[in-house]
Amino acid sequence: MGRHALELLQWNRVTNLTTITDPLDVAIKHYVDALAAAPWIGDGLRVLDAGSGGGFPGIPLNIARPDLAVTLVDSVRKKISFLKHAIRSLGLKGIEAVHGRLEDLCLQPEYQRKYDRVVCRAFSSLEDFAQIALPFLSQGGSLLAMKGPQADHDHETVNLRDDGTILLSGTSFSIHIHRYRLPVLNAQRSVVILTPRRGGEVGG
């Protein structure tokens, strides 16, 4: 992962990939944090990293878990150029970078319902994430929203039902929130795991 970090910081001088540039912060806030999603991703699954940016969490997950098939998606062409360069430079396998808007890609048959996990660190709300990510999700799959200290889910989950479900974008999800702290920095983070319930579409 050190090679990816080096490439990231070099490219960041001319392409806006990350606002985090201190080496310790990069190591913990990007790489350690990215791997927090790993326990919630089973062996050999297909993973979509929605809004990958500099490759997080997709590239660290691919390095640590080469059994995964990872697709990195971003709407900014310069970021995709970096991701493709990083994949080539690091000799990574089972991973690809795709340029496009999630709203457009979800309409293409080759991406619809193809992924066991859709993971993202970019969306501001669970509602927005569920709406845009659900078309990519295969049957039995889950959405993983990686959240910072001031997570929107804190107020969104106020409407949780007694049976541990939440209604997002017209679909009923089982929800599990795993809270953790980053080492050294002691910063709070969380992974919100959303699994569509069978027959969970309202009116469906």
Predicted confidence at residue 202, as pLDDT, reads 41
Domain ranges, ordered by start, for the chain: 2-201
- From the list 89, 111, 112, 115, the residue with the least C-alpha distance to 99 is 111
pLDDT tens for 188-202 read 999 999 999 976 554
pLDDT tens for 112-170 read 999 999 999 877 789 999 999 999 999 999 999 999 876 555 666 655 666 689 999 99
The answer to whether the predicted template modeling score (pTM) of the entire model surpasses 0.85 is yes
Radius of gyration of the chain (CA): 17
CATH topology of domain 2-201: Rossmann fold (3.40.50)
